[in-house]
Structure 1
Amino acid sequence: MNVNEAIKILKEKGYKATGRRKDILTYFSQEDGYRSAKDLIQYLEKQNEGISFDTIYRNLHLYNEVGILETTELNGEKLFRMNCSNEHHHHFICNLCGRTKEIDVCPMDEVKQMLANYMIEDHKFEIYGLCPACQEA
């Protein structure tokens, strides 16, 4: 997803595309991987002194709610990234740099067979480790 597609989604859902919201979208469109609210604030403070945590968190959760950002949790911290696909997918996430790589396989077919009498409502499958660049460093 790019910034223009994200802005279109915001407008379709009845939200304004303010300058600050565009700055947030620009940040995530340039990042390869999951980033924290703290990472975003550090980026935005260079342009918008005094930006509030409340503003950041409200927008991050709004973007997640409308499908612009996707989230994960790593070491107890919620992380965000631009939604790369509307299709079902999973990720490898680098523990050092946060880069992600989409994984096209999903273990749910096998799991559904093992849990045939259970009602599965949702799932999340992520693999954590070191990307090739971080292994070399």
Structure 2
Amino acid sequence: MNMEEAIELLKEKGYKTTGRRKDILKFFAEADGYRTAKELIAFIEQKQPAVSFDTIYRNLHLFHEMGILESTELDGEKHFQIACAHHHHHHFICRRCGKTKEIDVCPMQDINNLLPGCVIENHKFEIYGICPQCKTA
């Protein structure tokens, strides 16, 4: 999803596209991989030093619920990135820098065979490790 699509979705759902929301979307659109709320707050504080943590977290939750952002948990902390809506895939996530690499393989066919009669409603498959750039650093 790109920034324009996210703004259009907000408008369709009746939400205002405030400057702060645009700044949040810009931060994630320019990020390479998953980022934390703390990183977002540091970015926003460069423009608006009196940023409210509650406002940031409310918007992160809203964007996640609307499918604008996807999230994962690394070391007990939530990380977010712009949702990838173009096709079904999973991610390799670097535990040091948060960069992601798409993985087009999905283990669900094997899982479905192992769970006959079950109705699987959703799934998430992620691989965590160290990317080549962080490995050599």
Counterparts of 1:132 and 1:5, CA distance in 2: 32
The equivalent residue for 1:19 is 19
SS in 2 for 1:92: strand
Aligned-partner Cα distance in 1 for 2:62–2:87: 20
RMSD: 1.0
Query: Aligned to 1:81, what secondary structure does the other structure show?
Result: strand
Q: CA deviation at 1:50?
A: 1.0
Matched, 1:71 2:45: no
- Name 1:5's counterpart in structure 2: 5
Paired residue for 2:33? 33
SS of the residue corresponding to residue 116 of structure 2 reads coil
Q: Quote the Cα distance in structure 1 between the aligned partners of 2:122 and 2:62.
A: 21
Question: After superposition, what is the alpha-carbon deviation per residue over 1:61-108, rounded to whole angstroms, capped at 9, x for unaligned?
Answer: 111111110011111111100112243221000010000011111000
SS in 2 for 1:96: coil
2:116 aligned residue? 116
| Map of 1:128 onto structure 2 | 128
Question: Matches of residues 35-74 of structure 1 in structure 2 within 5 Å?
Answer: 35-74=35-74
Q: Any stretches of 5+ residues in structure 2 without a counterpart?
A: none
Q: Does 1:87 align with 2:84?
A: no
TM-score for the superposition, normalised by structure 1 = 0.96
Shift of 1:3: 1.3
- Alpha-carbon distance in structure 1 between the residues aligned to 2:95 and 2:24: 23
Letter in 2 for 1:91: H
Shift of 1:13: 1.1
TM-score (norm 2): 0.96
CA-to-aligned-CA distance 1:28-81 (integer Å, 9 cap, x gap) = 000011111111001100101110110001000111111110011111111100
Counterpart residue type for residue 70 of structure 2: E
Gap runs ≥5 in structure 1? none
* Structure 1 counterpart of 2:87, one-letter code: E
Q: Distance in 2 between matches of 1:76 and 1:102?
A: 22
